[in-house]
Structure 1
Amino acid sequence: MGWKLSKHFVLAAGGTGGHMVPAAALAEELTKRGHRVALVSDARGVRFPGLFDDIQTHVIPAGRFQVRKPLGWPGAIREMWRGRAMARQLYRTFKPAAVIGFGGYPALPALLAAFVNHIPTAVHEQNAVLGRVNRLVAGRVDAIATSYDRTARLAAKYEGKTHLVGNPVREAVLALRTRPYPLLEEDGIFRVLVTGGSQGASILSRVVPDGLAMLPVTFRRRLQVTHQARIEDIDAVRAKYAEHQIPAELATYLPDMPAQLAWAHLVIARAGASTIAELTVAGRPAILVPLPSATDDHQTANAREITQAGGARTIPQGDFTAKELAKQMQRLGLDPAALENAAGRAKSVGRPNAVSDLADLVESLDAPVARLPVGVSRPKQAFA
C-alpha cells in the first residue's frame, strides 16, 4: 500500500444508536487509515457506551424543530446558529478536510458551518427513507451516501452525487459474516434474541413472552431467550418468562450485541437501520415489528428488502399478537433447514463493504476532480 496523506474529518450525528453506530464504524475505519477524527453530537451521543472512547468529541447545541409546536421555532433557530458558531470555531483549529453528517438535528449546525466555510461535505442515510435533516441539506452537500437500492424522499435531481454504500456495522459484527449459522438440531436448544434497539420496545415485552408460551410444548422446552427491555418493563417481563417456565436472560442494554447475534438462531426486533444492517451482514433470520410512529414510516421501508429476500417476516405492530407471533415462530423454527435457508437469504442482501466504501467516498471529497471511488456503486433504484 502506498503512502497516504493524513487528513482530519468531522463526523456529525444525532444521539441515537441508529446514527451513532455507523458514525463509530466510519471513525474506526478512518483512524485505521491514519486519519484524525472528531465527533460532533449532543450530550447523548458523546456518552454512547463503548463507541467513541478514543475519539475527540464535542457537544454543540442544536435546536429541534417540531412541526406541531411552531412557537418553539425561534428558540430552535437561535440554538442552531449558536451551534453553527461553535462548529466554525472548532474548524478553525481542527481544520477538517470534510464534514460528514449522519442525520439527526445535532448534525445540522456542523453541516451549516461547513457550508459557510466552504468545507467539502457528505451525508450518510441509514434508512430507506431520506431523513429530515438530510433532506434539508441534500441540495448543498457534495455527496449523498445511501444504504438501500431504493431511498424514498430522495429527489432524482441528486442522482449524480448519490452513492450506494450500505450501512456500516461494527467490526465485531462484520466478523460474523465468515462464521456459519449456529448448528440447530431438531431437539437442540433454540436461541432467541429479542431487541427493540438502543431504547428497547414495550410492545415486544408485552407480546413475546406470551407468544413463546403458545408454542407446542416440545418446542417451548427448547427455548433459550435473551431479551432487551426498557427499565420500566423489565421486572414484569422477567415475571412473565418465569410464569411460563421459559429460560430467559433480561437486560436493559446489550453491550455485547455481536456476541448475542453470534449464537442467535432467530431475532425478534424492531426494524431500525442498524438492526437491519447487522442482521443482513451476519446472516440471521428475523421476525420484524416496525415502529409505526417512526418518521415517514421508515422502519417498514427498512424491513422491505430483507423480507422480500426471504430472510425475515414482517408483522405490522397492529397485527403483532401472541397468537400471530407463535404462528410465525412455528413456520420458521420447526424446520432447521428452512431456518438456515432464511439465514442465507438474509445474508444475501447484506453489504459487508459498507464502511470501506463509505471511507473511500469520504477520502475522495476534497480531491481536485470528483470521482466515484472504486467499489462504490450507484443505486439501481435510488429515487422515489
Structure 2
Amino acid sequence: MTRPRHFVLAAGGTGGHMVPAAALAEELIRRGHRVALVSDERGVRFPGLFDGVQTHVLPAGRFSGGPVGWAKAAREMWRGRAMARQLYRTFTPAAVIGFGGYPAFPALAAAFAEKIPTAIHEQNAVLGRVNRLVAARVDAIATSYAETQRLKPKLLGKTHCVGNPVRDNVLALRAKPYPLLEEDGIFRVLVTGGSQGASVLSQVVPDGLALLPVAFRRRLQVTHQARIEDIDAARAKYAELDIAADLATYLPDLPEHLGWAHVVIARAGASTIAELTVAGRPAILVPLPSATDDHQTANAREMTLAGGARTIAQRQFTPSELAKQMQKLGLDPEALENAAGRARACGKPDAARDLADLVESLDAPSIALPVGPVVRKEAFA
C-alpha cells in the first residue's frame, strides 16, 4: 500500500504548464497523497483543473526589461523563495516538482534551501528557461520526448522520458476508434490555436477550405476556436463561403470535439501534441514562430516524421498550401485512418502514471523507475 505523503507542484500560469501539473495532481491524489499547488494569479484561476487542491500564489518576476527589470525580478524571486520556505515548514512536502514557468523557480529554490527532493517536468522538445536554470540541481528530470534539445548530456543519467500527462477525458479517447469516415459523409475539422487562439488560423483556414473541390467542401463541418478580436470576421467569412462552421472563443468541451474530429488544424503546443497523439488524431500543425527557442517546431517533429501530421511553417501557411495538404489527407479515407494510427503510435498514455512513479521514488529510492486533499486557497501578500 502506498504511504501517504505531501507533494508540492509548482507551475507557471499557462495551460501548457498547468494541464500536466493537474494530471499529475489527480494521479497523486488517487494514490492517497496530499497535493499543494504553487503558481501565479493566472494558474490558480484555471477553471476545473485544481478544484479541491490547496493553492498558493507566490511572487515571481520575469527577467526582462534590462538591469532595472532584472533587479526587480530578483527581489520578487527572493521574496517568493522565503514564502515557499515558510509553506514547506507547515506542509512538509516529500518532494517539490516544477513544471516550468517563472513561478516554479522560487518554489524550487526554496526546496534546495530546505534540502527537499526535487524534480522538473519538461513538456516541450526544448528544455525551457527555468528548467535549464535548475536542471543541474534537481534530483530527477522528466521529459516528454526521447530527444530534448538544450538538455546537457551530463544530466542524462537522471533523466526519464515519461511523456506529457493529459486530462482523463482526453485519455478516455484512446479507447475509442477513429470516427467512421464514409466516402460522402460529413468530414469534421477542428481548428484550435491553443488557450489564446491564433489569428493566423482565422485569417487562412476559411479561405483555404474554400479552395477545396466543391464536393469535398460541402461535406465539411468545422469547429473553430478563434480569438475574440477575430471571431466575427471569421464567422462572416465562413458564411460568405457557405462552409458549415461553429465558432467560439473558448471550447470547454474540447476533448469531445477532439473525439469526433477527422482532422485537427492547430498550433504545436506541448499539450496539443500530447492530446493529439494520445487520442490518435491526424493534424495539420502551424508552429508559433515566436515560441521560445522555436520549441513548437521541435514539438511537431516526431509526430510529423511518423506520418501522423503535416507541419506548415507560418510563413508558408497560405490558403493554397492548406488546401493542398487537406486534399492529401482528406480525399483518401484509408490514408487518413492510417495517419490517425501513426499519430496514436506517438502517444504516451501512461505519462501521468509514470511521472507519479518517478515523483514517489524521490522519497523512496528503492522503487524501480520506468524509462482527498484539504481545500484551502491562499495568496501571500
TM-score (norm: length of structure 1): 0.95
1:73 aligns with 2:66: no
The code of the aligned residue for 1:18 comes to G
Q: How many angstroms does 1:372 deviate by?
A: 4.2
Q: How many angstroms does 1:294 deviate by?
A: 0.4
Q: Name the structure 1 match of 2:34.
A: 36
Q: Name the structure 2 match of 1:19.
A: 17
Q: Name the structure 2 match of 1:307.
A: 304
The superposition leaves residues 143-168 of structure 1 with CA deviations (integer Å, 9 ceiling, x where unpaired) of 00000010000000001100010000
> Any stretches of 5+ residues in structure 1 without a counterpart?
378-384
1:143 aligns with 2:103: no
Q: Name the structure 2 match of 1:8.
A: 6
Q: Name the structure 1 match of 2:81.
A: 84
Q: Name the structure 1 match of 2:376.
A: none
What secondary structure is seen at the aligned counterpart in 1 of 2:178? coil
What secondary structure is seen at the aligned counterpart in 2 of 1:144? strand
Q: How many angstroms does 1:370 deviate by?
A: 5.8
1:290 aligns with 2:287: yes
What secondary structure is seen at the aligned counterpart in 2 of 1:74? helix
Q: Name the structure 1 match of 2:357.
A: 360
Distance 1:22 1:370 in 2: 26
The superposition leaves residues 54-88 of structure 1 with CA deviations (integer Å, 9 ceiling, x where unpaired) of 2111111001012x633310000000011111111
1:158 aligns with 2:141: no
Distance 2:235 2:5 in 1: 49
Q: Name the structure 2 match of 1:341.
A: 338
The superposition leaves residues 255-285 of structure 1 with CA deviations (integer Å, 9 ceiling, x where unpaired) of 1111111000000000000000000000000
Of 231, 235, 242, which residue of structure 2 is paired with 1:234?
A: 231
Q: How many angstroms does 1:53 deviate by?
A: 1.3
The superposition leaves residues 325-347 of structure 1 with CA deviations (integer Å, 9 ceiling, x where unpaired) of 00100010001110000000000
What secondary structure is seen at the aligned counterpart in 2 of 1:37? strand
The superposition leaves residues 91-150 of structure 1 with CA deviations (integer Å, 9 ceiling, x where unpaired) of 111110000000000100100000000000000000000000000000100000000010
Distance 1:200 1:54 in 2: 28
RMSD of Structure 2 on Structure 1 (CA): 0.9
Q: Name the structure 1 match of 2:57.
A: 59
1:175 aligns with 2:172: yes
Q: How many angstroms does 1:349 deviate by?
A: 0.9
Q: How many angstroms does 1:366 deviate by?
A: 1.4
The code of the aligned residue for 1:4 comes to T
Q: Name the structure 2 match of 1:382.
A: none
Distance 1:220 1:304 in 2: 29
Distance 1:229 1:61 in 2: 31
The superposition leaves residues 160-201 of structure 1 with CA deviations (integer Å, 9 ceiling, x where unpaired) of 100010000011111111110000001000000000011100
> Any stretches of 5+ residues in structure 2 without a counterpart?
372-381
1:262 aligns with 2:255: no
Distance 2:41 2:246 in 1: 30
Q: Name the structure 2 match of 1:209.
A: 206
Distance 1:48 1:30 in 2: 19
Of 45, 48, 51, which residue of structure 1 is paired with 2:46?
A: 48
Distance 1:344 1:254 in 2: 25
The code of the aligned residue for 1:41 comes to S
Matched length: 371
1:131 aligns with 2:132: no
The code of the aligned residue for 1:87 comes to A
Distance 1:358 1:111 in 2: 18
The superposition leaves residues 186-220 of structure 1 with CA deviations (integer Å, 9 ceiling, x where unpaired) of 10000000000111001111100110111111001
Distance 1:194 1:69 in 2: 38
Q: How many angstroms does 1:89 deviate by?
A: 1.1
The code of the aligned residue for 1:55 comes to V
The code of the aligned residue for 1:255 comes to P
Distance 2:52 2:245 in 1: 34
Distance 2:123 2:314 in 1: 22
Q: Percent identity?
A: 80
Deviates more, 1:243-252 or 1:103-112: 243-252
